[in-house]
Structure 1
Amino acid sequence: MVCTAEEYGEIDNEDKAIDENFRIYPQNPYAISKSALDFFSSVYYSAYKLPVYISRSFNHIGPGQSERFVASDFARQIALIESGSQHPVISVGNLQSQRDFLDVRDAVKAYNYIINKGSAGQVYNVCSGKKQKISDLLDILILLSTRSDIKVKIDRSKFRAVDVKIMYGDNSKLKAQTGWASQYSIEISLKDTLNYWRQNAGLQV
């Protein structure tokens, strides 16, 4: 079952990576629904011995992702600017939040490892284990752009009503029990995402 790191909710110590034993405190409808699925799956394992594997996934990133997600949104806007379809101004929300970003290709590999090498009934964080400021993602993408005149505009409508400042995970359990390791750096993920939108800037996923 693919659940979400948003189940953890507000973090008391934002400088500490979150492991699977951290308490659950969902703070939005999506996180609440995933928490219900999480508990539902655990009950089916304990009561009926159904071989259930649970992931709590942090932020995914990579080519093919919808522009509804922050890095893909930035990349798409830059691709539109490069093609002349958008003025050289990127509209952004909160750039100060810090999140744990994992390439989707590494995430898919993690899911495969959990099913084939993990233990049924267990929860695994699927994450990079590193925190990354949103502004850093934007800076990297702008450096990758062919344009040198891009400006940034803060759009308050893009801010979340409830937004945890810092959230990143501890993936040591996933590594230790399955042998999984990530392969894609944040720079490669962003480069591939930008190249995807250079080819598909007119599309909305």
Structure 2
Amino acid sequence: MRVLVTGADGFVGRHACAALRAAGDEVVEVHGPRGEGISSTALHFDIADEAKVKAAVSEVKPEAVLHLAGFSSVAKSHQNPARVFAVNTMGVVHLLTALRESAPKARVLLVSSGEVYGPVAEGTLAAEGHPHVPLSPYAASKSSGELAGEQFFRSYGMEVILARPFNHLGAGQDPTFVVPSFAAQIRAIGLGTVDPVLRTGNLDAIRDFSHVKDVVDAYRLMLLKGEAGQAYNVGSGEARTIRGVLEEMIQLSGVQARIELDPARLRPSDIPSLVADTGKLRALGWAPKLTVADALRDVLGPRVGAH
């Protein structure tokens, strides 16, 4: 199938494009404005630019769309809510409006986030029917984008499917995210360029971690078999504290370091526990093939843990 991938120059986008091509799909990449010059074959535009979105969709007329473009940092979303909503909510509206005009039969996977659920009782898995209680502009904008997708499905019969991924890890993730931040610090400590101190935010939060390669496999499966108008959680279903992940990274790396809380790394609001109920996705035939340890080795890279 001919798949338009927005956000193709991002962390997940690069893995998704590789997986789609390996499966035999024709991929048309959309890079954000900062990706200008990286690829001569990719389209370049800001998803918040309605005219450019419309022109690109009219040109490509995709059979399927994997919509990954978005403002992705929960922590940074508190600093610029207007931009977050312009990208994560209005970007969806621009994309679906353009598809309705030029490719109304395209299968569309809107990638939202498990963050839309907000706090879930510890020991309880968040199922797709759990209410949305967003605690950040990021989560609120993703929830709003979902609502737009549902409206286009109900009103115009468009083939819109919603993905709600939980935390995912792998090579190439921006170091502003928690696990890559740990990895960068561990590498520096291993090289002896900094003091053996790991500076962290809240380590007690409970999260659900998956390998990014398993996540993008789930996205392709949803494009093929997902039911339009439905949402699917993407995660492992396993609860891990951030502290437990950090300790596993330290063990894998072999470095010795002291852990120190850095108040600057704490968020204005944080979710104590968020773990996915993945039964609905598994019913489509998906199951993870890789482990969190595999993902952590990829994040740490070859210089660490080689022994």
Q: TM-score, normalised by structure 1?
A: 0.91
The RMSD of aligned alpha carbons is 1.3
Q: How does 1:10-29 map to 2 (within 5 A)?
A: 10-11=119-120, 13-29=121-137
Q: Is it true that 1:56 corresponds to 2:164 in the alignment? A: yes
* 1:154 aligned residue: 261
* 1:171 aligned residue: 278
Q: CA deviation at 1:28?
A: 1.3
Provide the rounded CA distance (Å) in 2 between the counterparts of 1:46 and 1:68.
Answer: 37
Unaligned runs of 5+ in 1: 199-205
Which amino acid letter does the alignment assign opposite residue 56 of structure 1? R
Provide the rounded CA distance (Å) in 1 between the counterparts of 2:244 and 2:279.
Answer: 25
Identity percentage over the alignment?
Answer: 36
- Stretches of 4+ aligned residues off by more than 4 angstroms: none
Q: For the Cα contact (< 8 Å) 2:135–2:270, is it kept in 1?
A: no
* 1:202 aligned residue: none
Q: For the Cα contact (< 8 Å) 1:76–1:197, is it kept in 2?
A: no
* 1:69 aligned residue: 177
* 2:250 aligned residue: 142
Whichever of the two has the greater Rg, that structure is 2
Provide the rounded CA distance (Å) in 2 between the counterparts of 1:38 and 1:197.
Answer: 40
Provide the rounded CA distance (Å) in 1 between the counterparts of 2:254 and 2:234.
Answer: 33
Q: TM-score, normalised by structure 2?
A: 0.62
Q: How does 1:116-131 map to 2 (within 5 A)?
A: 116-131=224-239
Q: For the Cα contact (< 8 Å) 1:8–1:24, is it kept in 2?
A: yes
* 1:187 aligned residue: 293
Q: CA deviation at 1:84?
A: 2.2
Q: CA deviation at 1:10?
A: 2.2
Provide the rounded CA distance (Å) in 2 between the counterparts of 1:196 and 1:48.
Answer: 49
Provide the rounded CA distance (Å) in 2 between the counterparts of 1:74 and 1:22.
Answer: 31
Which amino acid letter does the alignment assign opposite residue 7 of structure 1? V
Question: Larger RCO: Structure 1 or Structure 2 (Cα < 8 Å, ≥ 6 residues apart)?
Answer: 1
Secondary structure of 2:218's partner?
Answer: helix
Q: CA deviation at 1:140?
A: 0.7
Unaligned runs of 5+ in 2: 1-109
Q: For the Cα contact (< 8 Å) 1:56–1:125, is it kept in 2?
A: yes
